[in-house]
Amino acid sequence: LYLNGASPKGPFVPTQADYQKVYDAIALRLQNETDYDDGSYGPVLVRLAWHASGTYDKETGTGGSNGSTMRFAPESDHGANAGLKHARDFLEPIKTQFPWITYSDLWTLAGACSIQELGGPSIPWRPGREDKDVAACTPDGRLPDAAQGHRHIRDVFGRMGFDDREMVALIGAHALGRAHSDRSGFDGPWDFSPTVFSNDFFKLLVDEKWNQKKWNGPTQFTDKTTQTLMMLPTDIALIKDKGFKQHVDRYAKDSDVFFKEFSDVFVKLIELGVPFQVKPEDRFIFKASE
Ligand code: HIF
Residues labelled as active-site residues: 51, 190
Q: Which atom of ligand 1 is nearest to the CA of 170?
A: 32
pLDDT (0 to 100) of residue 290: 84
Q: What is the value of pTM for the model shown?
A: 0.97
- Which residues neighbour 155 within 8 Å (Cβ) at sequence distance 6 or greater? none
- Residue 4: C-alpha distances to residues 10, 273, 276 (Å): 11, 25, 20
Mean pLDDT, residues 259-271: 99
pLDDT (0 to 100) of residue 1: 62
Overall size of the chain counted in residues: 290
| 53 Cβ below 6 A of ligand 1 | no
For ligand 1, atom 9, which residue shows the shortest CA distance? Answer: 146
Give 84-150 as a DSSP string. Answer: THHHHHHHHHHHHH-TTS-HHHHHHHHHHHHHHHTT-----B--------GGGPPPTT-S--TTS-H
ipTM of the complex as predicted: 0.98
The per-residue pLDDT for range 169-180, each reduced to its tens digit, is 999 999 999 999
Q: How far is the CA of 177 from the centre of ligand 1 (A)?
A: 8
Q: Which parts of the chain fold into alpha helices (H)?
A: 16-32, 42-53, 85-97, 103-117, 150-160, 164-171, 200-207, 233-240, 242-253, 255-271
* Other beta carbons less than 10 A from residue 36's beta carbon: 18
The per-residue pLDDT for range 143-159, each reduced to its tens digit, is 999 999 999 999 999 99
pLDDT (0 to 100) of residue 6: 75
- Which residues neighbour 156 within 8 Å (Cβ) at sequence distance 6 or greater? 54, 142, 143, 144
For ligand 1, atom 19, which residue shows the shortest CA distance? Answer: 179
- The pLDDT-based confidence of 26 (bands split at 50, 70, 90) is very high
The per-residue pLDDT for range 203-248, each reduced to its tens digit, is 999 999 999 999 999 999 999 999 999 999 999 999 999 999 999 9
CA distance 37 to 18: 30
Q: Which residue in 78, 82, 57 sits closest to 69, CA to CA? A: 78
